[in-house]
Amino acid sequence: MLPLAQIETLKQLKDKSLFFWTIILPIVSIILLIELFTTDSTNKTLVASQSVTGMSVFFSTFIIISIVISFVKDREKGIVSRLASTPLKPYNFFLGKSIPFLVITFMQILLLSVLGIFLYDIEINNFPAYLWVVVLISLLVTSWGVAISVFAKTENTGLVMTNVIALGTAVVCGLWTPYDQLPSYLQTIGMLFPQYWAHQGLIQSVSTISGGESLIWVTLVVLGYTILGFIVSLIGYRHYIKMARN
């Protein structure tokens, strides 16, 4: 498992597109959003609190693109077929492939949070709780990235699915605009998605913005969706092996 994780880490460090999706695009988007739509410093802090927490959840989803690309390439190059003939268990395979992406997502959200703290005076009043939610988000997007990957026929599948998930949940879960400003029917729909709970989990630890859900409920919902994602991955493992080239 660990050698597989090391190999995957080296592969991702060489991927320049990953740097764009996880670092450059989120930072530029957040700064532009805040600077274009705010004037005074107090308002900037409020908008930044919403933008940083919301965009952190939104852009974390884009790691799915890299996960799908990695899984498809390994399948097409015959790496998966060779691994399937070894004693490596399916869950060890998935864990080895997932760990680097989990760390990348965690560091991405942490970097965006630091940006908000130092540039826009965002105040986090409960760092342990905030970091715990960041871990949950990282587990969530990684698990569903793997789940999508085992069924993906091409790399474009990752791009399409990521856009559908990211854009769809951004609208109904209040990632772009304050949740309480959404129509009531969208608020009801939004609560069905883990992205809503993940965002609310971040908000409840940020004192410069009101709102947030109980950490217990956030943990139960997000962790539940995460476990479901890994179950789907294990179910799809045989399908993934069948598609692998010898």
What sign results for the dihedral spanned by CA atoms 115, 171, 192, 166?
Answer: negative
pLDDT confidence of 80, banded at 50, 70, 90?
low
Mean pLDDT of 27-52: 84
Q: What is the mean pLDDT of the chain?
A: 86
Distances from the Cα of 197 to the Cα of 87, 111, 131, angstroms: 38, 21, 15
Mean pLDDT of 163-184: 88
Between 209 and 57, name the one with better pLDDT: 57
36-53 burial code (b ≥16 CB/10 A, e <16): eebeeeeebbbbbbbbbb
Q: What is the pLDDT of residue 38?
A: 77
Q: What is the pLDDT of residue 198?
A: 96
Element (H, E) at 171: helix 155-172
pLDDT confidence of 107, banded at 50, 70, 90?
very high
pLDDT confidence of 85, banded at 50, 70, 90?
low
Distances from the Cα of 64 to the Cα of 34, 73, 74, angstroms: 26, 14, 15
pLDDT of 16 > 80? The answer is no
pTM, two decimals, is 0.90
3-state secondary structure at position 206: strand
Between 83 and 174, name the one with better pLDDT: 174
- Measured between its terminal Cα atoms, the distance across the chain in Å is 22
Which residues pair with residue 124 across a beta bridge? 206
Q: What is the pLDDT of residue 226?
A: 96
Q: What is the pLDDT of residue 20?
A: 85
pLDDT in tens, 196-207: 999 999 999 998
Cα 134 from Cα 44, distance rounded (Å): 23
| Winning range, highest mean pLDDT, from 52-61, 81-90, 94-103 | 52-61
Q: Which of 12, 217, 224, 243 has its CA nearest to residue 129?
A: 217
